[in-house]
Structure 1
Amino acid sequence: MSMDTDTSRPKYELVADAIDRRAGELNPHDALPSERELMQQLNVSRMTVRRAIEQLVRRGLVYQVHGSGTFVADPAVVTKTLHLTSFTEDMVQRGLTPTTTVLSSATTQATAEVARRLGIQPGDEVFCLERLRLADGSPMALERVHLPPLGIDFATIDPATSLYAQMEARGWTVERAAQTIEAVNLDHTQARALDQAVGAAALRVTRVSFNDAGQPVEHAMTIYRGDRYGYDLVISRHAG
């Protein structure tokens, strides 16, 4: 395994490129060389190797199994880490081309549940957007989003592009989110939109995003195909 010698780039990026090239020679779920082997082959420090692998994990190109090593990811499956990113950002980071089919886009009155999530009153006007999200032309997720009336003219929102980017361009800094992930089975409407069989496994992700002032700025419910999307979590037994 060899590494480029471009001195204008950080060394960990060059190491990541070298590992990525090696991964391209292997099959999904094949093991990559160990950290020690990579250190020896590329003549770099353990910290540099680890930073390179972390970058590849974030991009969905490899995954790690504690105690077993690093493995080539299946390109058909997108795995998301615990970083607050939009669908568009997720796909771009993984080298996929995101596109959107807008199913509906309109102002409506908040239901009791949507109002509770957004901290507004039932019946308040909200912007409701339903979209089919695709990656490299293949259906990935079905999404319903509600935005509260926080001073944005809903008529100026482009429903086909990243809402996070549009929020931040208008001064809504999306700082954090609370979300729930559930295993569900697709109903007829969802299955047809996602090109899956009725009853196929899926992930339902319900998210409320907050700005830097702690105000809810988005309530989203997204159904992801179970065969193409997953989550990588790093958890600790002890707090702190």
Structure 2
Amino acid sequence: MAHKYETVAAGIRDTIAASLRPHDALPSERDLMSVYGVSRMTVRQAIAKLVDEGRVYNIHGSGTYVGSTDLFLKTPKLTSFTEDMMSRGFAASSRVLALTSVPATGEIARSLSIPVDSECTHIRRLRLADENPMAIEDVYLPREVLALEDFKLTESLYSQLDRAGHELHRAEQEIQAIALDDEQSRLLGVEPGTAALAVTRVSSSRRGQLIEYARTIYRADRYTFQLAVTRESEK
């Protein structure tokens, strides 16, 4: 049986599809409580689920608004690209651009705490949502984590890591604004010099083992990151 908040979330999705446009305001929490006959907590759980899906966004002190259908919101949760797209109802796919064994350069070696020139599996992919280019991803994994010959093109990388006992638990990310070069622009289907988001990620397991160094370049016109931050009280 579905939770109450899931029923409310489904109802709001239907309302958005039937009568609302991107950036239109949702009904207030009080109105939603009245329409669905539920508590404020249930309404907030439903809204939180829709925020995670990228369907709506909050403006503090103002309200909740319909998200843009052209914009993908990435929350701070550690999820794969496939999981991101599936949660929003899009079919994720990849085009493998390179699959090689390479020596770890200085930055990769430092990030993964392995000796320089250690053998790594390098996977370069064009990531797509409903066959539309979304990102270019370069992933480097120490050979002992995933050997080149063990990588399966038809399976999710994270699923393969989980099965091998290397479940990702934590990641540190750095986000930079860049301008796309000619090759990147061609792959992503935009003009050279177009703005993009370059995300460098280093992921580790629950035991603290460094598993993955990745650099992903996202189309900035279709992808954004949503972060929740708090301010500590002054002593």
Q: TM-score, normalised by structure 1?
A: 0.94
Alignment pair present for 1:187 and 2:181: yes
Offset, 1:151: 4.9
Determine the C-alpha separation between the residues in 2 that align with 1:69 and 1:152: 46
Partner residue of 2:14? 21
**Within 5 A, what are the aligned runs for 1:189-204?**
189-204=183-198
Determine the C-alpha separation between the residues in 2 that align with 1:211 and 1:29: 38
Contact 2:138 2:216 in 1 (8 A): yes
Determine the C-alpha separation between the residues in 2 that align with 1:183 and 1:27: 29
- Identify the match of residue 46 of structure 2 among 29, 46, 52: 52
CA-based RMSD of the aligned residues comes to: 1.3
Alignment pair present for 1:123 and 2:117: yes
- Identify the match of residue 64 of structure 2 among 63, 70, 76: 70
Partner residue of 1:104? 98
Offset, 1:13: 0.3
- Identify the match of residue 136 of structure 2 among 134, 137, 142: 142
Q: Structure 1 vs Structure 2: percent identity of aligned residues? A: 47
Contact 1:16 1:53 in 2 (8 A): yes
Q: Which amino acid aligns with 1:68?
A: S
Offset, 1:154: 2.4
* Structure 2: gaps (5+ residues): none
Contact 1:180 1:206 in 2 (8 A): yes
**Within 5 A, what are the aligned runs for 1:161-176?**
161-176=155-170
Determine the C-alpha separation between the residues in 2 that align with 1:190 and 1:98: 19
Determine the C-alpha separation between the residues in 1 that align with 2:226 and 2:175: 12
Per-residue deviation, residues 97-150 of structure 1 (Å, max 9, x unmatched): 001000000111111111111110111100011100000010000011100122
Q: TM-score, normalised by structure 2?
A: 0.96
Alignment pair present for 1:34 and 2:31: no
Q: Which amino acid aligns with 1:97?
A: A
- The worse-fitting range, judged by mean Cα deviation, of 183-192 and 152-161 is 152-161
Partner residue of 2:82? 88
* Structure 1: gaps (5+ residues): 1-7
Offset, 1:152: 3.5
